[in-house]
Amino acid sequence: MQKKRKKTGRDGLYRRTDSPWWWASYTDTSGRRTRRSTGTADRKEAEAILAKWKLEAHRQRQWGEQPARTFDEVMLNYLQGPGVEKRSADRDRLSARHLYKTFTGRVMDALAPQDIRAYIIGRQADGVAPATINRELALLSTAINHARSELGWELPNPVRGRKLKVPEGRVRWITQEEAASLVEAARQIRQAPHIVDFIRLALHTGMRRGEILGLEWRRVDLRSGLIYLEAEHTKAKRRRSVPLNAVAMDAVMNRAQFRATHCPNSQWVFCNKRGRRITDVKRSFATACRKAGIDDFRIHDMRHTCAAWLVSAGAPLSEVRDLLGHASVTMTERYAHLAPENVRAAVSLLEQGDGVHSSRNGHVRLTVIPGRKM
């Protein structure tokens, strides 16, 4: 869908309805019309930026001069550029803030691998996890590649090949008995009556916190016992349907009764008595864990718990992947160790052939097959 914009002024500046900044329209080095955000709401500053861009384009057309591109230009064009689909704008902005502290004002042509290494060392010294550092570097690399492909800027990409090795992810889960204690403890929290249903729904569907708290009634099919998540609601940006078992259905019905009693017009499954969406359950969840005597257990660990229960019960990893909405079965394989019987069955196949067998007294004996060299 094309963005609505006001008529471009004679100086090449205009405003867009979806942006607070001044936008510029000018002829680039290839002779094509280019539209870019100036990244400022100040008219005078926008005029100066546009004049700089026009001068650079002119010098490059006339003399083939490649203008120096700064980190700020590259990042600004990616974060605010039109037509760029970003999986997580909030995460990008957070990563950009950390990158700015080190690279702001730096000329990208002079950026070298040792600069990236120095950034990594600095972030490690701050105690930042490898996965977080990788996300920040991935943003920088993506911004550079965007400038190269979309704007035609001839920039090196020193980030390439600098990805850190990430240790195996945390898998913390609780037993059915511990879950029952957690739910019972949650029932005692009178200030947050929704926390019980939140916990039960999370444990029995594996949905993420944002998927649950952002759930609208229009995406709940009580007749079919399904919750529909569109791409915009999921981390992997893929739509999926989540089946409701008896426990999850009971939790949803409790929320429906709450809605009918207090706020019949609310669109949110998890809302307060005024019908407003509940956005945070950290405090009430922590209280429930403390009352239940469960340590080191986070909200996201209920997702791990759901997966652990399913795998332990013999559910195929592919089905667990589909329920949780993992992009690939690789993510789900972290739970494979919870189904040792599957591996045991595979190993038992070795007993069916010739070779090494176990004797009745538990000792291993070697069977020699006539005609076969040992």
Tens of pLDDT, residue by residue over 297-330, are 999 999 889 888 888 887 887 888 888 877 666 6
Residue type, 247: V
Name the token pair of 198. Answer: 């939140």
pTM value?
A: 0.59
Statement to judge: residues 211 and 252 lie in one domain: yes
| Domain contains 347 | no
Statement to judge: residues 188 and 321 lie in one domain: yes
Q: What is the greatest pairwise CA distance in the chain?
A: 96
Mean pLDDT of the residues in the chain: 82
Statement to judge: residues 136 and 25 lie in one domain: yes
Q: Dihedrals φ, ψ of 197, to 5°?
A: -65, -35
Cβ atoms of 269 and 220 closer than 8 Å: yes
| Domain contains 359 | no
Statement to judge: residues 182 and 303 lie in one domain: yes
Statement to judge: residues 202 and 78 lie in one domain: no
| Domain contains 226 | yes
**Binning pLDDT at 50, 70 and 90, where does residue 342 land?**
low
Statement to judge: residues 190 and 331 lie in one domain: yes
Among 239, 218, 216, 217, residue whose Cα is nearest residue 229: 239
Maximum average pLDDT range among 28-37, 69-78, 211-220: 211-220
Share of the chain above pLDDT 70, in %: 80
Statement to judge: residues 131 and 190 lie in one domain: no
- pLDDT of 269 strictly over 90: yes
| Domain contains 364 | no
Number of compact structural domains in the chain:
2
Per-residue pLDDT tens digits for 33-49? 888 788 788 899 888 88
Statement to judge: residues 59 and 180 lie in one domain: no
| Domain contains 157 | no
Q: What is the pLDDT of residue 250?
A: 96
| Domain contains 353 | no
- Return left, alpha or beta for 2; rule: phi > 0 is left, psi -120 to 50 is alpha, else beta: beta
One DSSP character per residue, 228-278 reads: EE-GGGSTTS--EEEE--HHHHHHHHHHHHHHHHH-TT--BSSB-TTSPBP
Statement to judge: residues 143 and 233 lie in one domain: no
Which CATH number covers residue 281? Answer: 1.10.443.10
| Domain contains 291 | yes
End position of a domain, from candidates 135, 150, 165: 150
| Domain contains 57 | yes
- pLDDT of 218 strictly over 70: yes
Domain that holds residue 113: 13-150
Statement to judge: residues 32 and 141 lie in one domain: yes
Statement to judge: residues 310 and 228 lie in one domain: yes
Statement to judge: residues 21 and 85 lie in one domain: yes
